[in-house]
Amino acid sequence: MNIILLGGTGSIGSMSLDLIRDYKYNLLGVSLGTNLDRSIEIVKEFKPTYICVRKASDKALFSGLCENIFIGDEGLKELAKIKCDILLNALSGSIGLIPTIEAINAKNDIALANKESLVMAGDIIMKLAKKNNVNIYPVDSEHSAIWQAIKGEDYNTINKLYITASGGAFRDKKRNELENVTVNEALNHPNWSMGKKITIDSATMMNKGLEVIEAHHLFNIPYKNIVPVLHKESVIHALVSFNDSNIKAILAPHDMKLPILYALNRGSRINYENKLNLTTLHFKKMSFKRFPLLKYAIDAGKKGGIMPTVLTSSNEAAVKLFLDGKIKILDIETIVYNELSNTKNFKPTIDDIIRVDKEIRERILGGK
Amino acid sequence: MNIILLGGTGSIGSMSLDLIRDYKYNLLGVSLGTNLDRSIEIVKEFKPTYICVRKASDKALFSGLCENIFIGDEGLKELAKIKCDILLNALSGSIGLIPTIEAINAKNDIALANKESLVMAGDIIMKLAKKNNVNIYPVDSEHSAIWQAIKGEDYNTINKLYITASGGAFRDKKRNELENVTVNEALNHPNWSMGKKITIDSATMMNKGLEVIEAHHLFNIPYKNIVPVLHKESVIHALVSFNDSNIKAILAPHDMKLPILYALNRGSRINYENKLNLTTLHFKKMSFKRFPLLKYAIDAGKKGGIMPTVLTSSNEAAVKLFLDGKIKILDIETIVYNELSNTKNFKPTIDDIIRVDKEIRERILGGK
């Protein structure tokens, strides 16, 4: 299997490389981040035909290691266009959007870990994928679970999708206890080890809101039939209820390698051992009052147009401010709320999306 | 849909008739039990073309109501042979075995609620069904759940089947507290409303043992890969784990109409509303020490041959003694254990199975 991996030095990227090694897949191309030592290690071990580095000045480090070196955002576009069996987009943030579009135009099937592609431009991307006969396979554990649960089922019998949320670092805290939480406290996720941005998004429940929007696009299910539920143990990743009142749930260990492997293999099951202990399972109803970002996200998804872009761009910038110690965690909600409130919705092109994303970031991050 | 229903006056039969009424299916034929008032009601309402009554003396009661009246065990055989879209075998106990065989020989597809057919003669029945190109659809909620969970999946990727058990009426009692429980206490199942025999079998965990044997035959999975687990809430009915460490679970409300409807429709989902509340879920490891009948059942299944017949016949007779107030509940285990211990195993024909079943009943019930 020839794989192009966008985001090779990130958290999902690192697990993907483990799988590529273990299953003897071929890393045809990889994009690398700011960790240059790790980047060199990757190129030495996997000998990809193509790489993409962040800056022109990084290029020299890889001379003799790889002959085809792309650079920066333009390079990501070039890399995404190279014909492969599957392109795994594990970029974090809105930088992942354009490479997804390029991959679809080049008729590369996509294993999609980049949430922003679908949140910001789900309508455009799903339409484009259909037109180009390109498959988009989810890598998120929740969406992988939904994908598995509807395998073999008639689409018309699907009633509701339930997406579970562990509740993140502050699930046992009340809202008024969140005022002065520290960055380190927020990064201490009880169940999953992930990148920083997504860990904060889990604590604020924005992550679940983004996942609702993703699920809407991936599975073509109306928002009113996508229900987030609190489930501390993260044993069940998603549930699908059907018109005959049966419910199918997918349980799996806390291990992103499962959904990555499943996506790389287009929904075929490949031997992989990580035993789940069938322990205590709990469900709780989700409170929008406790987790307003979840409500903002779902509302933005329902409105569609430019609103999901405003949502994710303002959130991404606000999370950065929080991680940098410049704002408090509840300020994220305020920032996102204000951006959404101040936006007049419209139906955007990809260029509009890119422009608005940039404007919002500059507005929020500019002065800080 | 033309349905022949064996066991129309029983618990599953009654729910099936509700569905036949609600979905406007046609009750082509029905076998009726000892409750004659209810039997007459059924014939008046559903106007079946064929009926089967218990005794020749019952026949007069139905004159003018139905033209084709079969009688007794021979009549069940005749009824099972009549061509229909699906035969629902909801007979309770070993009396259900021969009609299953007759239906298969007549190439009638079967929705099977009668456990004993598969427990006593699973090898013979599954082979015969294959030869005759006949489908056997499970009606038990656990097996319906497994059937749903493997829908669309590659058989070779199935790892383990987990069958859940509520634990029955005495799940919170220790073994030494069971000595003097009453019949009424044993009939007080915490989750399900079912027939008497199966309610006792739930309290002794024999029911789960029989289900393991059924699952083995229905899904062609080795015993070592079928795992019963305690799950008080009966929210999850079964789980299937796959070779990639994902687990699929089926959740459903406590309502046998779901699996009956699913079986009648050959695994297609038909609108039916009974909302499940996603409440607290617990799992506990199953103890063979606490529930020895479960171990006897699985061991008998593994040995195969005549042993599953010995198991189910001795259990059926012992449960009758308990229900009649003639023995204590723990005596069921002793009676089953003794019968199994005193049997030299062999590969039986259907005639052998019928003979051994009769001998064991007479031995256990004869003197009491």
Burial (CB < 10 A; 0-12, 13-18, 19+), residue B252, is buried
Determine which of A28-32, A185-189, B269-273, B350-354 has the lowest per-residue pLDDT on average: A185-189
Question: If you ran DSSP here, which 8-state letter would residue B59 be given?
Answer: G
Question: Other CB atoms closer than 10 Å to residue B112's CB: what's the count?
Answer: 26
Instruction: Please report how many Cα atoms fall inside a 13 Å half-sphere around the Cα of residue B264, on the Cβ side.
Output: 27
Which domains does chain B show, CATH number per domain?
Answer: 2-138 (3.40.50.720), 142-256+268-292 (no CATH), 304-368 (1.10.1740.10)
ipTM passes above 0.95: no
The whole-angstrom distance between B143's CA and the closest CA on chain A is: 13
Q: How far is CA B317 from the centre of its chain?
A: 16
Q: Provide the mean pLDDT of chain B.
A: 91
pLDDT tier at A365 (50, 70, 90 boundaries)? very high
Q: Closest to A251 (Cβ–Cβ): which among B229, B249, B261?
A: B249
pLDDT tier at A330 (50, 70, 90 boundaries)? confident
Tens of pLDDT, residues A144-154: 999 999 999 99
Question: If you ran DSSP here, which 8-state letter would residue A284 be given?
Answer: B
> Which secondary-structure segment (H or E) carries A97?
helix A97-105
Q: Which residue has the higher pLDDT, A298 or B72?
A: B72
The whole-angstrom distance between A251's CA and the closest CA on chain B is: 5
pLDDT tier at B217 (50, 70, 90 boundaries)? very high
Q: Provide the mean pLDDT of chain A.
A: 91
Buried b (16+ CB within 10 A) or exposed e, A130-140: eeeebebbbbb
pLDDT tier at B201 (50, 70, 90 boundaries)? confident
What integer is the mean pLDDT of A113-119?
Answer: 91
Tens of pLDDT, residues B296-336: 988 888 888 999 999 989 988 998 898 888 988 889 999 99
Q: Which two tokens stand for residue B119?
A: 């427990």
Residues 6+ apart with CB under 8 A from B160: B225, B226, B227, B240, B241
pLDDT tier at A189 (50, 70, 90 boundaries)? confident
Q: Which residue has the higher pLDDT, B188 or A280?
A: B188
Q: Which two tokens stand for residue A300?
A: 């933005």
pLDDT tier at B103 (50, 70, 90 boundaries)? very high
Q: Which residue has the higher pLDDT, A35 or A198?
A: A35
Determine which of A128-142, A316-330, A345-359, B337-351 has the lowest per-residue pLDDT on average: A316-330
Residue A192 has a pLDDT of: 66
Residue B232 has a pLDDT of: 80
CA distance B26 to B46: 8
Residue B283 has a pLDDT of: 53
pLDDT tier at B276 (50, 70, 90 boundaries)? confident
Longest Cα pair distance anywhere in chain A, in angstroms? 61
Query: Does A251 contact B252 at a Cβ distance shorter than 8 Å?
Result: no
Place of tokens 């390029």: A102
Query: Does B152 contact A153 at a Cβ distance shorter than 8 Å?
Result: yes
Q: Closest to A244 (Cβ–Cβ): which among B244, B270, B283?
A: B270
Tens of pLDDT, residues A283-324: 566 677 778 888 898 888 888 899 999 998 998 899 889 888
CA distance A186 to B10: 58
Q: Which residue has the higher pLDDT, B24 or B182?
A: B24
What integer is the mean pLDDT of A112-141?
Answer: 95
Task: Please list every residue in chain A whose beta carbon sits closer than 8 Å to the beta carbon of residue B238.
Answer: none
pLDDT tier at A170 (50, 70, 90 boundaries)? confident
pLDDT tier at B284 (50, 70, 90 boundaries)? low
pTM for this predicted structure:
0.88
- Collapse the DSSP code of A52 into the 3-class scheme (helix H, G, I; strand E, B; otherwise coil) and give the result: strand
> Mutual orientation of helices A329-341 and A307-323 as an angle, nearest 10°?
150
Residue A155 has a pLDDT of: 96
What integer is the mean pLDDT of B209-221?
Answer: 93
CA distance B293 to B210: 10
Query: Does B250 contact A251 at a Cβ distance shorter than 8 Å?
Result: no
Lay out the sheet containing B247-251: strands in order across. Answer: A226-230, A158-165, A236-242, A247-251, B247-251, B236-242, B158-165, B226-230
The whole-angstrom distance between A147's CA and the closest CA on chain B is: 12
Q: Which residue has the higher pLDDT, A169 or A43?
A: A43
Query: Does A274 contact B245 at a Cβ distance shorter than 8 Å?
Result: yes
Answer whether residue A156 shows pLDDT above 60. yes
Place of tokens 């991050």: A365
pLDDT tier at A171 (50, 70, 90 boundaries)? confident
Q: Which two tokens stand for residue B77?
A: 């055989």
Determine which of A199-208, B116-125, B139-148 has the lowest per-residue pLDDT on average: A199-208
Shortest CA distance from B279: residue in chain A? A283
Tens of pLDDT, residues A203-249: 888 888 889 999 999 999 999 899 888 888 888 999 999 999 999 99
Query: Does A268 contact B154 at a Cβ distance shorter than 8 Å?
Result: yes
pLDDT tier at B367 (50, 70, 90 boundaries)? low
Residues 6+ apart with CB under 8 A from B237: B141, B142, B144, B145, B164, B250, B251, B252
CA angle (B98 as vertex; B93, B103 as ends), nearest 5:
115
Place of tokens 């051994």: B356
Q: Closest to A245 (Cβ–Cβ): which among B246, B272, B279?
A: B272
Answer whether residue B98 shows pLDDT above 70. yes
Longest Cα pair distance anywhere in chain B, in angstroms? 61
Percent of chain B with pLDDT over 70: 97
Interface test with A, best of B244, B258, B261, B277 (most A CBs within 10 A): B244
Q: Which residue has the higher pLDDT, A301 or A358?
A: A358
Q: Which two tokens stand for residue B204?
A: 């002794």
CA distance A275 to B178: 35
The whole-angstrom distance between B255's CA and the closest CA on chain A is: 10
Answer whether residue B368 shows pLDDT above 70. no
CA distance B343 to B352: 13
Question: Other CB atoms closer than 10 Å to residue B225's CB: what's the count?
Answer: 15
What single string gives the DSSP state of each residue in B262-324? Answer: HHHTTT-------PPP---B--B---TTT-HHHHHHHHHHHH-TTHHHHHHHHHHHHHHHHHT
Tens of pLDDT, residues A54-86: 999 999 999 899 999 999 999 999 999 999 999
The whole-angstrom distance between A43's CA and the closest CA on chain B is: 28
DSSP β-bridge partners for residue A342: none
CA distance B15 to B18: 5
Percent of chain A with pLDDT over 70: 97
What integer is the mean pLDDT of A188-201?
Answer: 76
What single string gives the DSSP state of each residue in B134-151? Answer: --EEE-SHHHHHHHHHTT
Residue A166 has a pLDDT of: 83
Q: Which residue has the higher pLDDT, B28 or A283?
A: B28
Residue B195 has a pLDDT of: 75
Cα-atom radius of gyration of chain B, to the nearest Å? Answer: 20
The whole-angstrom distance between B113's CA and the closest CA on chain A is: 18
Residue A168 has a pLDDT of: 80
Answer whether residue A279 shows pLDDT above 70. no
Query: Does B246 contact A148 at a Cβ distance shorter than 8 Å?
Result: yes
Q: Which two tokens stand for residue A285?
A: 């109803």
Answer whether residue A281 shows pLDDT above 70. no
pLDDT tier at A194 (50, 70, 90 boundaries)? confident
> Mutual orientation of helices B97-105 and B72-81 as an angle, nearest 10°?
30
Residue A187 has a pLDDT of: 82
B→A interface, C-beta within 8 Å: 145, 148-149, 151-154, 157, 162, 229, 236, 239, 241-253, 255, 258, 261-262, 268-276, 278-283
Task: Please list every residue in chain B whose beta carbon sits closer than 8 Å to the beta carbon of residue A252.
Answer: 245-247
Residue B50 has a pLDDT of: 98
Most confident of A231-245, A324-338, B195-209, B255-269: B255-269
Residue B91 has a pLDDT of: 95
Residue A337 has a pLDDT of: 95
What integer is the mean pLDDT of B272-289?
Answer: 74
A→B interface, C-beta within 8 Å: 145, 148-149, 151-154, 157, 162, 229, 236, 239, 241-253, 255, 258, 261-262, 268-276, 278-283
CA angle (B34 as vertex; B33, B38 as ends), nearest 5:
80
